[in-house]
Amino acid sequence: MREITYAEAFAEALREILRADKRVCVIGGYFFGLSPRRALISQLRKQFPARFFDPPIAEAGYCGLAVGAAMAGLRPIVDIGTGSFFFQAFPQVLNEAANTYYMTGGQTKVPAVFHMLHGIRGGGAAQHSHSPQAMLWNTPGLEIMLPASPRDVKGLLKTAVLSDNPTVFVDHAKLFEVRGEVPDGDYAIPFGQAEVKRSGKDVTVVATSLMVVRALEAAEELAKKGIEVEVVDPRTLVPLDKKTILASVAKTGRLVVVDECHRSCGVASELVAIVAEEGFDALKAPVKRVTTLDVPVPFSRPMEAYIEPSREKIITAVLEVVK
């Protein structure tokens, strides 16, 4: 099986989607920001010039445009940019797109995909480093995907575009150069299917997005100490595959959850709550969360490193639950 980067798999999926379905259009389309990988999108713009639209810097406006276009029969993919900009689009995405199907009794659908780059990217500071996926998870009506590998980003994006529900694509700039195996040909990965990225018997680490990569790095180091870590990637928050997570906790008896949202009311908090309610009898030790601290993200790189989840912090948390 061939090995390509996350960015290449993303661009390949987008090319195949645009070729296969004329209803798909792209609003924004700077998915890779200012990174060198933006050249991949430039190629698509040349190949499908009539399908890319460049809006003004007005997130509420162009997300509202996408919602209306989806209601009218198109399937827009909207690039909002950094996750911090998503706040400007909350009225259209959370209050319109998420509620339309319910409020119309199923008569009107909003098959749109909203893409954002979340998390601490390096010097983004307080207004370019948010991870708002926990807030979005608190909004019924949205599907949420968080791919962490080349294979997953291609397969999940294919599913997102085919879905009749509004989907938020939670992405991370530090994943662009991650390499991995990707099948040849067309394929899709269903939402609501977590994946065990590494098997182990001593402790379960549930991680999302970039934290999956860091959890796997930590597991590699811990294996040298004789500790076998099982890494579970939910891949989607909505729908959530609770069965796989609970089965892993039942197997290991210990849980560490790693996520880049802030600690309070974050994704990690909800995952821990689910295990406490539905899998408490399997736990042999208190659970641990490894998250971003509850402070605005600083511009300073050393301070940034102090507040963010890291491989070292994951290792420390695992050692605490297995001692």
Known catalytic residues? 59, 128
Using the 8-state DSSP alphabet, how is residue 106 labeled?
Answer: T
CB 208 within 8 A of CB 232: no
C-alpha neighbours within 13 Å on the C-beta side of residue 132: 25
Q: In the numeric block, which tokens belong to residue 278? A: 């539905």
Number of Cβ within a 10 Å radius of residue 64: 17
Q: Which segments of 99-218 are extended strands (E)? A: 113-117, 143-145, 167-171, 179-181, 195-198, 203-207
Which residues fall within 8 angstroms of residue 101, CB to CB, at 6 or more apart? 108, 109, 110, 141, 164, 165
Measure the CA–CA gap between 70 and 114, rounded to whole angstroms: 12
Measure the CA–CA gap between 45 and 26, rounded to whole angstroms: 10
CB 146 within 8 A of CB 136: no
Which residues fall within 8 angstroms of residue 225, CB to CB, at 6 or more apart? none
CB 224 within 8 A of CB 254: no
